[in-house]
Structure 1
């Protein structure tokens, strides 16, 4: 029996662990970074823009809990950016225990409107990035004897996304990617899961009009309220800490995708 299979039941203790979060400067990524820091985990947060005020806020939270948050400016949509994210995280902290791919981009256009350029960009940022990041991070996790990977999908990947074909397609690909990767990495004690948020109040939703928000709350979401980034972050924590969950996709949408009428 392998060492992994003979392990006793326990959770992954996050204090002192190292988490790499792409797209961690706002929204779900930033809330997740704060949640890990409060558990005492060191966090490398990445983004495409120059260092922002949100990083100072996250670093203040981390300092209160004996953790450290660093910022790596890099583009998850490029092979070079993905490799550098993992390399710099490992160089700074000496390990990579958790990978959360929260980087994403809106991709407008239905079937007849979406451009090939935007289609390819959607796959680079959401799908190709996962392959590149995992290939760079997994060898460190294997050497450490454990690891966890979380992919951020979307309810749009479960039910389609009118007017945003590419976005729905790539978000739908992530849970399947997670399941396939979970099967391959299980013997190495590396768990892979995904979450699929619904309508979460982040800057990503700023394009919605007040009328659209009201319609969502009244008619589309059975719980009659929008989600918060912290709702998703707490679910991600559970999937990472519980060491007997792998290959799952957790929908966090207030019941939106279950409704029939």
Structure 2
């Protein structure tokens, strides 16, 4: 690899887990490209640049194939390559089999799963030019066990596990590692719709460590997976023990 900094493309990079991950990777000396549907990253990008690394911001709706390709090509052109891909873009997809709307189902696949596939398809040729690279998908504890009235979300997050394993095998000859993290209840905007009763149940009955996670808890694990060059095809659950509870 040449002497440039490693470049990390982080989708959903201006909020929550994506923003925490971008900051954590920047602290390690990586140049960052933040990709988000609604850009509100001026303060974040300024904070990243103050660390002495470059930061580029792209506004894109990654549910469109052309947007995935454009984001990858712009990142590589502006920052000189792509070494790390973190797909954190997504969002809730409420509803069950009978209660959910069909467009919610298809939209969940587009942003969570299809975008992950397309981003990899366009980014891997850039990654192959490097000595090693890393891809990290953000799944969910919901993908491990399923969640009532969140059918599409649970299904697409579970599908990311298989995408992780299959790509890890396919890309290992190029020394491109593919891993996945599965957060539980993390205090982000995603959780703001919870009622006080739901929060209380999480803390008292569902999470053995009796606290919500922080975006930085997830970002720390992502950085570990980026830095450890002997881990691939794995899913790391970050949920305070919630997924081992029966209730």
Q: Corresponding residue for 1:211?
A: 197
* Matching of residue 233 in structure 1 with residue 233 in structure 2: no
- Please, which of 101, 105, 111 is the counterpart of residue 91 of structure 2? 105
Q: Corresponding residue for 1:27?
A: 16
Structure 1 consecutive aligned stretches of length 4 or more whose deviation exceeds 3 Å: none
Deviates more, 1:39-48 or 1:190-199: 39-48
1:3-18 pair list within 5 angstroms: 16-18=5-7
Tell me how far 1:211 sits from its aligned partner: 1.7
Distance 2:201 2:179 in 1: 31
Q: Corresponding residue for 2:25?
A: 36
Tell me how far 1:64 sits from its aligned partner: 3.0
Preserved contact between residue 184 and residue 237 of structure 2 (Cα < 8 Å): yes
Tell me how far 1:168 sits from its aligned partner: 0.3
1:183-202 pair list within 5 angstroms: 183-202=169-188
Distance 1:260 1:114 in 2: 26
CA RMSD of aligned residues (A): 1.5
Q: How many residues are paired up?
A: 246
Unaligned runs of 5+ residues in structure 2 are none
Tell me how far 1:59 sits from its aligned partner: 2.4
SS at match of 2:181: strand
TM-score, normalised via structure 2 length:
0.96
* Matching of residue 47 in structure 1 with residue 55 in structure 2: no
* Matching of residue 78 in structure 1 with residue 41 in structure 2: no
